[in-house]
Amino acid sequence: MSSEVRRAAEILRAGGLVAFPTETVYGLGADASNAAAVARLYRVKGRPAEHPVIVHFASTEEAFRYALQIPPDARALAAKYWPGPLTLILNKSEKAKDFVTGGQPSVGIRVPSHPVAQALLKEFGGGIAAPSANRFGRVSPTTAAHVREDLGSDVDLVLEGGQSEVGIESTIVDLSQGAAVVLRPGKISREELERIVRIQEKDQSSPRHSGGLERHYAPRTPARLVPTHSLDKEISRLKDRVAVLAFSRPDERVDYWLRMPRDPNAYAQKLYAALRELDTAGCELILVEAPPEAAEWAAVRDRLVRACG
């Protein structure tokens, strides 16, 4: 146990805020049982109070104490994917307070696998409420440096844990209404989930979910998705200083070009750092080459569509 982790747990116990690495993105953590700490978390994050936050635990057993009942599908998914990049939405027990659920009858729970997150959760010994450690609506952080850039002294401690391996937020599966519904795609794909449970289409009755807002995970610079076949035409048409995120080689007419991997997992890992870099390139517009339509690109496509508003 490192002394940093011990200090982090003390800060949480005292009602402070600790940013910590997870395998998906960095989280901004507060004691999930402390109303004042969670209120401060929402203030720093700039998140509306009615938006629920995910509660993190060291083990499945602890996580399930926040649930009223545990459907067999939840047990099966937890057994396969926890610790890991999966969040389950279940009907809440009295342990999950209204101030973490946004007043909803359900709660989002997750057991992360990152060793530093695990160490912190074990040392703290309770649930840690943690949204991604960025300001509301902005690009999620995948390094400790990103968190410091975004939140500065508004956070009491940032635990260092290297670059997040997955790079995009957890897959969210809602099991609170009976049938399993994917609220947010992630590294664990729908196809993988369907090997274990039946997944139903999302409909209007799905719970509130800020990741479901249209413009989210967004850079400050306006961004636009462009199909591969019209990328060249778009570039020659533009008069603005433009930054491009693409699979192909740099085009010399373009001021700032970042080349992305053709593998969806490698792409996801780099995505947020790339959007941050392009955002600081001093361009008027970011053009993003659209990824393939294939199912394995669903999570990356979801984030790009939102980043492009």
> Where do contacts with Mg ion occur on this chain (CB under 5 A)?
132
Residues 60-99 that bind ligand TXA (CB under 6 A): 87, 89
- What 3-state DSSP class applies to 216? coil
Look at residue 54 and give the partner it binds from Mg ion, ligand TXA, none, a contact being a CB closer than 5 to 8 Å depending on partner kind.
ligand TXA
Site size toward ligand TXA, by CB under 6 A: 28
Residue 132's contacts (CB-CB under 8 Å, 6 or more residues apart) are: 25, 26, 27, 28, 140, 141, 169
Which of 101, 143, 221, 269 is the binder for ligand TXA (CB under 6 A)?
101
Between strands 18-20 and 27-31, the pairing is antiparallel
Least separation in angstroms between CB 309 and ligand TXA? 17
Q: Which amino acid is at 73?
A: D
Q: Round to whole Å and give the CA distance between 260 and 55.
A: 32
Which of 30, 38, 44, 53 is the binder for ligand TXA (CB under 6 A)?
53
User: What is the side-by-side order of every strand in the sheet holding 242-246?
Assistant: 223-226, 285-289, 242-246, 256-259
Least separation in angstroms between CB 91 and ligand TXA? 9
Please report how many Cα atoms fall inside a 13 Å half-sphere around the Cα of residue 281, on the Cβ side.
27
- What 3-state DSSP class applies to 200? strand
- Select the span of 3-11, 64-72, 126-134, 221-229 touching ligand TXA (CB under 6 A): 126-134
Q: Is the dihedral of CA 92, 62, 57, 6 positive or negative?
A: positive
Between strands 157-158 and 54-56, the pairing is unpaired
60 vs 87, which CB is nearer to ligand TXA?
A: 87
Least separation in angstroms between CB 203 and ligand TXA? 14
**Phi, psi for 165 (deg, rounded to 5):** -70, -40
Q: Round to whole Å and give the CA distance between 15 and 30.
A: 7
Query: Do you know the residue count of the chain?
Result: 309
Which of 9, 11, 18, 27 is the binder for ligand TXA (CB under 6 A)?
27
Which of 165, 169, 279, 302 is the binder for ligand TXA (CB under 6 A)?
169
- What 3-state DSSP class applies to 18? strand
18 vs 286, which CB is nearer to ligand TXA?
A: 18
Q: Round to whole Å and give the CA distance between 309 and 288.
A: 12
60 vs 142, which CB is nearer to Mg ion?
A: 142
289 vs 303, which CB is nearer to ligand TXA?
A: 303
- Select the span of 49-57, 153-161, 224-232, 259-267 touching ligand TXA (CB under 6 A): 49-57
Look at residue 24 and give the partner it binds from Mg ion, ligand TXA, none, a contact being a CB closer than 5 to 8 Å depending on partner kind.
ligand TXA
155 in Cβ contact with 28 (< 8 Å)? yes
Which of 34, 60, 132, 269 is the binder for ligand TXA (CB under 6 A)?
132
Question: What is the contact mask toward ligand TXA in residues 200 to 219, using x (rule: CB under 6 A)?
Answer: -------x-xxx--------
163 vs 234, which CB is nearer to ligand TXA?
A: 163
Angle at 301 between CA 297 and CA 302, to 5 degrees: 120
172 vs 274, which CB is nearer to ligand TXA?
A: 172
Q: How remote is the C-alpha of 278 from its chain's centroid?
A: 20
Task: Summarize as ranges the residues that interact with ligand TXA (CB under 6 A).
Answer: 22, 24-25, 27, 51-54, 87, 89, 101, 104, 106-108, 110, 112, 130-132, 169-170, 172, 183, 207, 209-211
